[in-house]
Chains A and B, each alone.
Chain A
Amino acid sequence: DAKTTQPNSMESNEEEPVHLPCNHSTISGTDYIHWYRQLPSQGPEYVIHGLTSNVNNRMASLAIAEDRKSSTLILHRATLRDAAVYYCILRDVSSGTYKYIFGTGTRLKVLA
């Protein structure tokens, strides 16, 4: 099973950038890296995804290492609404289908 490793928790001050790391040393060549976040009492929310190149959207940026064995989700200016659990996930290559395997994620705390 494709697996990711993330720190259990991180803290950031409001309006400062946040860099959330993820290690995925077993990634296959065609696996996309997806990031989701989950606020309390809600389902996960899609944030961003990428394959090889760095990606930007209105929510965040994704920086992918050249060897693709790690990636970093970047929130440029953290707000209190960004406090959530952030998940870095890969497609499960062993099954050949499209299920995702979530880890325990990183709980981000934003300090006012």
Chain B
Amino acid sequence: DTGVSQNPRHKITKRGQNVTFRCDPISEHNRLYWYRQTLGQGPEFLTYFQNEAQLEKSRLLSDRFSAERPKGSFSTLEIQRTEQGDSAMYLCASSLTGAQAQPQHFGDGTRLSIL
């Protein structure tokens, strides 16, 4: 059983650099979500896709953040001109389409540290 895969697991970069994270969802799942989690807090919703369409973006997602899901398969989250406040765990989840009862399956995240 292949779960949600996220790469890299850890990323350390200098302030001002661009970073890109990848998420591979469970193969038959057509919904994909991105969350951000800081220490001691629950995950915060960033954006979600149904197939290749990005259906919602949080106000937390500034213009420096962009997400894509070409062909409705894997997804990438890019942060441009990183800032100290971007340091966090970035989580990806996927689910089946259907009623809201469909559970989300999470990856183990990418931890971003900004020097």
Which residues of A are interface residues toward B (Cβ below 8 A)? Answer: 30-32, 34, 36, 41-46, 49, 51, 85, 87, 91-92, 95, 97-105
Contact = CB atoms under 8 A, between A and B. Distances in A.
Interface string B12-46: 00000000000000000001010100001111110
Contacts of A44: 43, 91, 93, 104, 106
Given A102-B44, A104-B40, A45 B106 contact: yes
B107 A99 contact: no
B108 interface: yes
Contact of A97 (B55, B99, B103): B55
Contacts of B108: 41-43
Nearest to A47: B103
B43 A98 contact: no
A103 B42 contact: yes
Given A32-B101, A49-B103, A104-B42, A43 B93 contact: yes
Nearest to B40: A104
A44 B37 CA distance: 11
Contact of A98 (B4, B31, B42): B31
B40 A98 contact: no
